[in-house]
Chain A
Amino acid sequence: MTPPAPRGPLLEGFNLTKTFEARRRMGAPRARVHALDDVSLTVAYRETLGLVGESGCGKSTAGRTLLRLLEPDAGSIWFDGEDITHAVPRHMRALRKRLQIIFQDPYASLDPRMTVYETLAEVLRVHNVCPRREIPARVAELLDTVGLPPSAAGRYPHAFSGGQRQRIGIARSLSVAPDLIVADEAVSALDVSIQAQILELLARLREKRGLSYLFISHDLGVVRYFCQRAVVMYLGRIVESGPVAALFDAPLHPYTRMLRQASPVPDPVQARATVQVTGEVPSPLAPPPGCHFHPRCPLATAICRQERPAMRDAGGGRLVACHLYREEGKEGQASFS
């Protein structure tokens, strides 16, 4: 079933910039990594937005910054029509009920000395979700929602498999009835048969509770299946965004095309077709000037080496940051000159 149509922005980031100081080598000047370099993105109500890219592209930093788990150096964050960039901690705590995050390794975020019941009850208590006497019933309901047996309540995290732990992580994030969940590689560590089960659960929650997701993943197949739109990042910048089918069937940015061609597909004919994949992501400490992708780009020209490409509207809800993108003739027909 397709989720209901989005209606307006829920979580928005405008021109977000975030730098980290790199560890200093002896005598060398302090270097800074631009983890986010002028990143703007919007998750609409009831929308699932994918955020894709390779290791170190800034996708996890983007997710954490949007939740204000990291403070941006510049830019602003809006949630449900309110500027939360500088919201005070007390207010942020109230907002955390509506904004949740689940991680790749739920084991790392679960207290090994607390039973599943204690973990979930604690969240319900801290956030005053319900009267104390209702907590046992709420915990039972949460376990049922995520497909865990009632007996799970008395057990410790180590007693569960990876997929079950992810269900516990999801139950914990649902305990406060959020509007939006940031899922950071939430299914990446799972075997495919289990991955499909967790995606099914996340999709059911989206339907029943009207949830929005910011779905961070390196797996284009999962993003195409689970998300409506996706944003592609490379070295701290957004290079392209758009509806998933158009984005992956007819990429506009050469990097999206490379990523798409390199993504494994279970089809021996396609998988062995010659792919144009060259080079590696350069060090984020010294990103190339101009378009960060130009050293690996088969189409790069002089301007690509000098000027940062602006984000341009490509029609059909698509945006692309490439000097070589040209609109041709009718709307929707675009190609490289």
Chain B
Amino acid sequence: MPGDPVLSVQGLSVQFRIGGAWRAATRGIDFDLAPNETLALVGESGCGKSITCASILGLLGGEGARVEGSIRYRGREIVGMPESELEKIRGKEIAMIFQEPMTALNPVMPVGEQIAEAISVHLGCSRAEAKTRALGFMERVRIPAAPERYRDYPHQFSGGMRQRIVIAMAMACQPRILLADEPTTALDVTIQAQILAELRDLCANLEMSMVFITHSLGVVAAIADRVAVMYAGEIVEIAPVAELFAAPRHPYTQALLQAIPRVDRETVTLRAIPGQVPAIAEFGSGCRFAPRCPRASEACQAVPPELAARGGPEGHRVACLAPAPVRERAS
């Protein structure tokens, strides 16, 4: 990847206090985010993707949660950073959008003013200038008739339009990193396709990096440059997007791809993954996928496998003692 990473996560572990004991919800999360890159974190419910994202913004702390490891934003350590410092980074340098846009919008304030407020707070510009910029961003995310809708309230917009407003608000401060946690999951597919296309354009034009969280490999294929597949609190495989879909190596990634019924071709047999994701209190000491894995051996139960290239290219790492062989590439 060209350039120093804007974000570098190393050995991140988030623990929660459950019934008096500290339990690790995520373990040993390592990844870098390059400038202008979109990294997808994909996995099923409870895999730790949202927790990982929240810890990047320094949102986890207090009595019930413990964050260990390192999260460096352009060289500055976020883990343990005082709240006053974090506030300078949140929104302005690293912005976040969520699945449900209403949680981020004030229901009794016109949307245009909300965007303008975010701009004047973070950039300290005049009201008039903030308004001009807010309108510019509303147009940029393709809200039709933006000047007329500047004074409309959130409830007057559809779900897709609300998500566009939240994106405009996040973009307005021109952050270097956008954290997007399932931003299209609640939307219909035709709206989802439009929002994904817009996020791709915005990232390219504003030279912004993005961490995109989703449970859908179909959405990953549409948005990501690189993909980290998570299972039970760990990254099990990380690779450039084309590589991951063409030649997945971890048994979980492979199983996940075979469990998706596809609209673009006939699926003769869908391969369900037997069993279910272990609960946080049931995490074993070895590979957490081993109980459901067709290739698991005794060694897998003992020690957690490290995320490593294992004979493949350096950018494609897999946490498995028996990964699929590296596929010979044609030409």
Q: Are A264 and B241 in contact (CB under 8 A)?
A: no
Q: How far is the CA of A221 from the CA of B258 in the complex (A)?
A: 13
Pick from B188, B266, B270: contact of A218, CB below 8 A. B188
Q: How far is the CA of A280 from the CA of B257 in the complex (A)?
A: 30
Pick from A221, A226, A268: contact of B221, CB below 8 A. A268
Question: Who on chain B is nearest to A225 by CB?
Answer: B261
Q: How far is the CA of A258 from the CA of B192 in the complex (A)?
A: 12
Q: Are A161 and B276 in contact (CB under 8 A)?
A: yes
Q: Which of A188-240 contact B (CB under 8 A)?
A: 191-197, 199-200, 218-226
| A261 contacts partner chain B, Cβ-Cβ < 8 Å | yes
Q: How far is the CA of A227 from the CA of B263 in the complex (A)?
A: 12
Q: What are the residues of chain B within 8 A of A163 when measuring CB–CB?
A: 276
Interface 9-residue window, one of A122-130, A134-142, A271-279: A271-279
Q: Are A268 and B272 in contact (CB under 8 A)?
A: no
Known: A193-B44, A224-B262. A200 touches B272 (CB 8 A): yes
Q: Are B270 and A266 in contact (CB under 8 A)?
A: no
| B324 contacts partner chain A, Cβ-Cβ < 8 Å | no
Q: Are A259 and B272 in contact (CB under 8 A)?
A: no
Q: What are the residues of chain B within 8 A of A220 when measuring CB–CB?
A: 189, 263
Chain A count of residues within 8 A CB distance of the other chain: 45
| B250 contacts partner chain A, Cβ-Cβ < 8 Å | no
Q: Are A267 and B264 in contact (CB under 8 A)?
A: yes
Question: Who on chain A is nearest to B158 by CB?
Answer: A280
| A260 contacts partner chain B, Cβ-Cβ < 8 Å | yes
Known: A224-B263, A264-B192. A196 touches B160 (CB 8 A): no
Q: Are A196 and B221 in contact (CB under 8 A)?
A: no
Q: Are B193 and A245 in contact (CB under 8 A)?
A: no
B277 nearest CB across to chain A (Å): 8
| B222 contacts partner chain A, Cβ-Cβ < 8 Å | yes
Q: How far is the CA of A222 from the CA of B216 in the complex (A)?
A: 13
Q: How far is the CA of A231 from the CA of B121 in the complex (A)?
A: 50
Q: Are A266 and B261 in contact (CB under 8 A)?
A: no
| A265 contacts partner chain B, Cβ-Cβ < 8 Å | yes
Q: Are B270 and A221 in contact (CB under 8 A)?
A: no
| B331 contacts partner chain A, Cβ-Cβ < 8 Å | no
Q: Are B261 and A277 in contact (CB under 8 A)?
A: no
Q: How far is the CA of A196 from the CA of B274 in the complex (A)?
A: 10
Q: What are the residues of chain B within 8 A of A224 when measuring CB–CB?
A: 261-263, 266-267
Q: Are A263 and B270 in contact (CB under 8 A)?
A: no
Q: Are A196 and B270 in contact (CB under 8 A)?
A: yes
B268 nearest CB across to chain A (Å): 9
| A285 contacts partner chain B, Cβ-Cβ < 8 Å | no
Q: How far is the CA of A126 from the CA of B242 in the complex (A)?
A: 56
Q: Are B263 and A248 in contact (CB under 8 A)?
A: yes
Overall SS of chain A's interface: helix
Q: Which of B44-70 contact A (CB under 8 A)?
A: 44-45
Q: Are A193 and B272 in contact (CB under 8 A)?
A: yes
A170 nearest CB across to chain B (Å): 15
Known: A199-B261, A225-B270. A263 touches B222 (CB 8 A): no
Question: Who on chain A is nearest to B266 by CB?
Answer: A245
Q: Are A222 and B190 in contact (CB under 8 A)?
A: no
Known: A193-B273, A225-B261. A259 touches B222 (CB 8 A): no
Question: Who on chain B is nearest to A248 by CB?
Answer: B263
Q: What are the residues of chain A within 8 A of B188 when measuring CB–CB?
A: 54-55, 218, 281
Q: What are the residues of chain A within 8 A of B44 when measuring CB–CB?
A: 191-194
B69 nearest CB across to chain A (Å): 26
Q: Which of B237-285 contact A (CB under 8 A)?
A: 241-242, 245, 255-257, 259-264, 266-267, 270-274, 276-277
Q: Are B262 and A221 in contact (CB under 8 A)?
A: yes
Q: Are B221 and A192 in contact (CB under 8 A)?
A: no
Known: A55-B188, A196-B271, A262-B189. A268 touches B241 (CB 8 A): yes
Known: A272-B222, A277-B194. A191 touches B260 (CB 8 A): no
Known: A221-B260, A260-B263. A265 touches B215 (CB 8 A): no
B71 nearest CB across to chain A (Å): 27
A232 nearest CB across to chain B (Å): 13
Q: How far is the CA of A266 from the CA of B262 in the complex (A)?
A: 8
Question: Who on chain B is nearest to A200 by CB?
Answer: B272
Pick from B160, B189, B264, B267: contact of A259, CB below 8 A. B189
B166 nearest CB across to chain A (Å): 16
B219 nearest CB across to chain A (Å): 5
| A270 contacts partner chain B, Cβ-Cβ < 8 Å | yes
A-B contacts, 23 of them at CB < 8 A, read A54-B190, A192-B215, A192-B217, A193-B256, A194-B44, A196-B261, A221-B261, A222-B261, A262-B190, A262-B192, A264-B192, A264-B222, A265-B264, A266-B217, A266-B218, A267-B264, A268-B221, A270-B264, A272-B221, A277-B193, A278-B194, A280-B158, A281-B188
**B contact residues vs A (CB 8 Å cutoff):** 44-45, 158, 160-161, 188-194, 197, 215-222, 241-242, 245, 255-257, 259-264, 266-267, 270-274, 276-277
**A contact residues vs B (CB 8 Å cutoff):** 54-55, 161-163, 191-197, 199-200, 218-226, 245, 248, 258-272, 275, 277-278, 280-281
- Please give 4 more A-B residue pairs, beta carbons under 8 A apart, in addition to A196-B273, A225-B267, A269-B242: A199-B270, A220-B263, A271-B222, A275-B197
When A and B form their complex, which 5 residue pairs have the shortest distance between CB atoms, in order from nearest?
A: A264-B218, A225-B261, A196-B272, A262-B193, A193-B273
